[in-house]
Chains A and B, each alone.
Chain A
């Protein structure tokens, strides 16, 4: 993956928002939308959304914080590592894989640790980097997205998301095994 490609995409990232703003406002203006009034009318809902997600976020973040602080993850890691070691999965990377769907900042912290301790070009460092980039903080996203519209029964959403996470973490391992 060349640096040019990366630079182009990074550049796109910094242009995206200004471009979207000017495009929307220009088209709106010339189609005779009262842009200022429409903006304010839409924007006033921002606060309600922020307030509405609070109970959902408190519920999930408090539960995750308790779980992480209890040392339950260490127990899980110890339980899982003999099996995962069989397929060559490094023990050091297990806590990060387990934390990833629960906490974005927690996973980023663990990933930074792994990269710093083992080196960015070590297998563990690369695996942690790929796992971090190819998955999301599922529980946070579900709480915010479903909470913002007052949904309480997620139905199959959580199961589908967690299975996809497991697939992503497994794929990260297999791809790293093949590429590096």
Chain B
């Protein structure tokens, strides 16, 4: 991430020096920063709605029940997540929302899943194996109906706007499969060192989860 982030800036600014696009680069840098805050603030409401609903679902035992139900299926993908842990429930909620193309709601549920995964993470500053697998699946796209793409095709006067659904699903299945395999292969070359507790000044949102120590042992074994 350090290298890529540095290169995006360095390559961009060096090339801009040759192409004479310094002004565009300047306004883009500032514009990008502005967009970032707008996006983050835009998420707050949806985030609050889903975190509220998920808290009700947790207290009603629904998230744990879902996690127990999914254990045989998702357990193989996420061997580091202990039995009955709510993370499996929220991961499924995110994948289901993504499949249905629910946009920000899917993001909110995904962030809930990350929070659950962080509660069993052995180093709060680095991504766990489960997080990497989850994100690889998530970014490989699991959409069934690419609603926006179809809308664009309709407005371009397409006679069969939905003809791309089949090929899209096939490509998605391939990329998701590659995502799972790659994440699994790369995690061995890049072991996580347990022990980091992260910033003490990060609000209790992350660290307050009581069962954060429960899984440390099983995770260590799985890292080998």
Binding site for B on A (CB under 8 A): 1, 3, 5-6, 9-10, 12-13, 16-17, 20-21, 24-25, 27-28, 31, 33, 35, 38-54, 57-72, 75, 101, 108, 111-112, 115-116, 119-121, 125-126, 129-138, 141-142, 144-146, 148-161, 163-165, 167-168, 171-172, 175-176, 179-180
Contacts and interface: CB of A to CB of B under 8 A. Distances in A.
Given A42-B55, A70-B13, A168-B175, A153 B149 contact: no
Interface string B130-159: 011101101111011111111011001111
Contacts, number: 381
Contacts of A163: 178-179, 182
B39 interface: yes
Interface of B is mostly: helix
Contact of B28 (A24, A69, A126, A160): A69
A176 B166 CA distance: 10
Given A42-B53, A62-B33, A70-B15, A164 B176 contact: yes
Category for how many chain B residues contact A = 35 or more
Nearest to A49: B47
B166 A1 contact: yes
B39 A69 contact: no
A13 B127 CA distance: 31
Quick one: which of A40, A46, A159 has the most chain B CB within 10 A? A46
Quick one: which of A45, A47, A62, A164 has the most chain B CB within 10 A? A164
A179 B168 CA distance: 11
Nearest to A53: B40
Contacts of A60: 5, 36
The 5 closest A-B pairs by CB, nearest first: A42-B55, A46-B48, A168-B175, A133-B146, A65-B32
B175 A134 contact: yes
Contacts of A108: 148, 152
Contacts of B50: 46
B127 A24 contact: no
B135 A1 contact: no
A145 B57 CA distance: 22
Given A153-B125, A164-B182, A168-B174, A176 B140 contact: no
